[in-house]
Structure 1
Amino acid sequence: MTASTEGADVIEPGEVRTRAEIRPVLGGNPQGGICPSGAHVSLYSDPDVGEQHGYYDGWLAEEDEQGPIFEYTGAGKSGDQTFDGQVGAGNRAVLHHMQQKRMLHLFTCVGKVPKSKTKLHRYLGAFVVDPVEPYVWRRGHGEDGRERNAIVFRLRPAEDHLAPAARDMIPPADETSAEFVPFVATGASFQADPATSGALPLPKQGSRKKRSASRAPAPNAETSGAFVDSETFRTTMSLRAATTATVAMRREAELTQSFKSLLDGAGHRTGAFQIKVKGLTSTLRTDLYDATTHVLYEAKGSSTREDIRMAIGQLLDYARYVTTPEHVGEPRCVILLTDAPPPDMYSLFDRHHIGVVYRSDDGRFVGDAIPGAGDEGLSSVPS
């Protein structure tokens, strides 16, 4: 049953409405999955349509340290999805919604009005793109049946009370699989300002009730002597952390693209692996794979001990699933870094049989598994 919209100026999570009943509140087009309008961007997900084309929008069962994630597939029915031009306008609206001070409102189709073709949509709530990793690339099939690259947005609930419901979960994988897929440069999100540059604390739905006095922003601590409330402090800290992470990811993206160009220039066949693990809802994707030499690379935007330890763990995890008919056994694992690692880390690399490539001070790549390196495993190439 749909809720009456007469005099209504708010939609609460869990309410079911038609688009005709949603548009007076949030605006947007009567058709399409991504509908920007004023201070809002309405996102419509249809599980039946997604399943027909081999993808699922929904909550991941595996949460990270920041909480739950909802995966939402971008706009574009056939061919590679994009952020460019008119075709990519909807995807850009999602990616840059914070800079544009818009809130994302997520709906999922739950059937049709009885004896009608009009679809019903349940409101899941207000969301924001993950400020650190706003989207990932996913290989799949378009409406025309051909393989293509799809943009999968990683959405976070904008309000604490929004919790994942079992009915909206992505189904776990029936079996483990690893697919060699084309490399896609992560560029759009990192060429623009960080996704965290929008006004925060995050805005609530524009039509919701105003904050109570106790939730109002705290006065400036320096001029009034009042303490900054803990919510503002946490928001400031999370912004700093997210901005730092975004800078590192920009460096990682540029580093990976540069090294791929080196491999391609040497005539190597490069790509990545997309991995599904039985029983899990999330999809893993490696950074770079050299199919010519059977080498798996994990890139990091810094050479800190923390990043190196993470890269080692990721390589040991991914390598078990990377198999090809052309090569026997697991791939050789190599960490790709922006600069030289701490000297004592080399013994750790040797212990786990992991190589390392890094960019030297003069902008050249140095280390293992570089084309033309010879037996020494050392080479250099302009960045």
Structure 2
Amino acid sequence: MLPGLKPGDVLPRREVHDRYGGSRQGGIAPSSRTNVVLFFTNPAIGHRHGYYDGWGGDGLFHYVGEGQQGDQQLVRKNKSIAEHHRTGRTLEGFRADGKLVQYLGEFKLIDHYFTDAHETNDPSVLRQVIVFRLQPRNEVPVELPNLPLRPKLKPRIDVVPVEEKFTERAFVTPDREPFELERRESVLVHHYRTYLENEGHTVRRLRIIPPGESRPLYSDLWDETTKELIEAKSSVTRDQLRLAVGQLFDYGRFVDARKRTILVPSRPREDLLNYLRSTSIGVTYLDDDGTWRHDDLS
């Protein structure tokens, strides 16, 4: 616990550093003058940097490490949290609001894990971030948010309506606008879903939460009638098809699917069909006359 402060006290951030040391910039501030590591959480603006700090279902505070560009590494300021106990420093938390901060009290590190987040001001780029699980040593005097999703030890698979608005990227960057590729994929999925339902199939989506992950995976379609796992792409470029193959293999680790299929707006060129054939993944596309063509390449 910081001498001269009690949990709930509000003061200017500059005064915190005048008293206890540490950099006035950034979210993590190890001090060279006192045996403390200060950390600051700001729920109001943290999401701009892909930082979603909050309480997990484990009763611990999950705090995203520092680093706004590229994958975060367990070095420098992040390392100061990871090694605070070994180096004899206490870990002291604050909730930031503009130039003022509110003292949360002392915490201790339990462990850390990795998850995905977007880069600062660039929702099109995903990166890996460090999340520290912190245990408060006192009653935290202010309400802090809960995590949107709490990591589990075992995988969880849910069948959800196709109308479910979430996508994997939207879960990481919920306040961004959909990309044009996503819009075109959505139209393609809607048309094919309508076709399947007219054929008497029951069509849903799968929400898959891998063990230890804080972000769900969403299949584009799950045909419950045929046990077919379907991933849609808005174009037939090599990059898009390779991405779809990877997604289907990832989802398929958790789902007993009889078929895996890529849904695209037109027939891929021959070498790409050969590539899909080598993976035993089928392809469904719109023929020139507007009818659906199914090529089982397995």
Q: TM-score, normalised by structure 2?
A: 0.53
Change (3 A) 1:119 1:301: farther
In structure 2, what is the equivalent of residue 67 of structure 1?
71
Deviations along 1:227-281, whole A, 9 cap, x unmatched?
Answer: xxxxxxxxxxxxxxxxxx9332222222222222332344432222222333555
Residue matched to 2:27: 13
Specify the alignment match of 2:112 in structure 1: none
Question: Which runs of structure 1 show a deviation greater than 6 angstroms over 4 or more consecutive aligned residues?
Answer: 168-171
Give CA deviations for 1:32-53 in whole Å, capped at 9, x if unaligned.
x6589xxx99x98531xx5289
Q: Partners in 2 of 1:7 and 1:343 — Cα distance?
A: 64
Whether 1:181 and 2:172 are equivalent positions in the alignment is no
Counterpart code for 2:231: E
Match runs of 1:83-98 below 5 Å: none
8 Å CA contact 2:62, 2:131 repeated in 1: no
Q: Tell me if 1:46 matches 2:46.
A: no
Q: Give 1:358's aligned residue.
A: 285
Contact 1:251/1:338 (8 A) holds in 2: no
- 1:4 corresponds in structure 2 to 11
Rounded to whole Å, the distance in 2 between the matches of 1:359 and 1:301 is: 12
1:259 pairs with 2:192: yes
Deviation digits for residues 32-80 of structure 1, max 9, x if unmatched?
x6589xxx99x98531xx5289xx96659xxxx9535xxxxxxxxxxxx
- Give the C-alpha shift of residue 16 in structure 1: 6.0
Give the share of equivalent positions with the same residue, in percent.
Answer: 25
Q: Aligned residue for 2:133?
A: 167
Q: What are the residue-to-residue correspondences of 1:151-300 with 2, within 5 Å?
A: 164=130, 166-167=132-133, 173-183=152-162, 184-185=164-165, 246-300=179-233
Q: Is this contact kept in 2: 1:132–1:195, CA < 8 A?
A: no
For 1:180 and 1:13, the matched residues in 2 are separated by: 38
Gaps spanning 5+ residues in structure 1: where? 23-32, 69-108, 113-117, 134-153, 158-162, 197-244, 324-329, 370-376, 378-383
1:300-315 map, 5 Å = 300-315=233-248
Asked if structure 2 preserves the Cα contact closer than 8 Å seen for 1:319 and 1:331, the reply is no
- How far apart in 1 are the matches of 2:123 and 2:45? 21
Contact 1:17 1:120 in 2 (8 A): no
Summarize deviations over 1:137-196 as a string: whole Å, max 9, x none.
xxxxxxxxxxxxxxxxx8x79xxxxx7353379975412332222222469x8xxxx959
SS at match of 2:249: helix
Distance 1:45 1:121, change over 3 A: farther
Secondary structure in 2 matching 1:174: coil
Deviations 1:87-128 (A, max 9, x none): xxxxxxxxxxxxxxxxxxxxxx9699xxxxx88399xxxx74
Alignment CA distance shift 1:172-1:7 (3 Å): closer
Q: Which has the higher strand share?
A: 2
| Matched-pair contact (CA < 8 Å) for 2:266–2:285 | yes
User: Displacement of 1:289 after TM fit?
Assistant: 0.6
SS of corresponding position for 1:67: coil
**Alpha carbons of structure 1 residues 301 and 58: separation in structure 2 relative to 1, 3 Å:** farther
Structure 1 contact 297–335 (Cα < 8 Å) conserved: yes
2:294 to 368, 373, 378: 368
Equivalent residue for 1:120? 104
Deviation at 1:6, TM superposition (A): 8.1
Kindly tell me: are residues 186 and 274 of structure 1, through their superposed partners in 2, closer, same or farther at Cα, counting changes over 3 Å? closer
Taking the aligned partners of 2:197 and 2:63, their CA distance within structure 1 comes to 36
How big is each residue's C-alpha offset from its partner over 1:295-336, in whole Å with a ceiling of 9 and x where there is no partner? 11011121011211221222123223113xxxxxx3311101
Residues in 2 aligned to 1:110 and 1:269: alpha-carbon distance in whole angstroms:
50
Closer, same or farther: CA 290–165 of 1 in aligned 2, 3 Å: closer
Is residue 2:140 matched to residue 1:132? Answer: no
The 8 Å contact of residues 269 and 290 in structure 1, kept in 2 or not, is answered as yes
1:335 counterpart (243, 258, 262): 262
1:141 aligned partner: none
Whole-angstrom CA distance in 2 between matches of 1:16 and 1:185 = 34
Residues 279/11 of structure 1: CA separation in 2 closer, same or farther (3 Å cut): closer
Q: Distance in 1 between matches of 2:62 and 2:194?
A: 33
CA, structure 1 residues 129+58, in 2 after alignment: closer, same or farther (shift >3 Å)? farther
Return the match for 1:349 from 276, 289, 293. Answer: 276
* Amino acid across the alignment from 2:54: D
Contact (CA 8 Å) 2:188, 2:265: kept in 1 or not?
Answer: yes
Structure 2 residue ranges without an equivalent (≥5): 16-23, 29-37, 73-91, 96-101, 107-118, 135-146
User: Aligned partners of 2:275, 2:13: CA distance in 1, in Å?
Assistant: 66
Q: Distance in 2 between matches of 1:4 and 1:307?
A: 51
TM-score normalized by the length of structure 1: 0.43
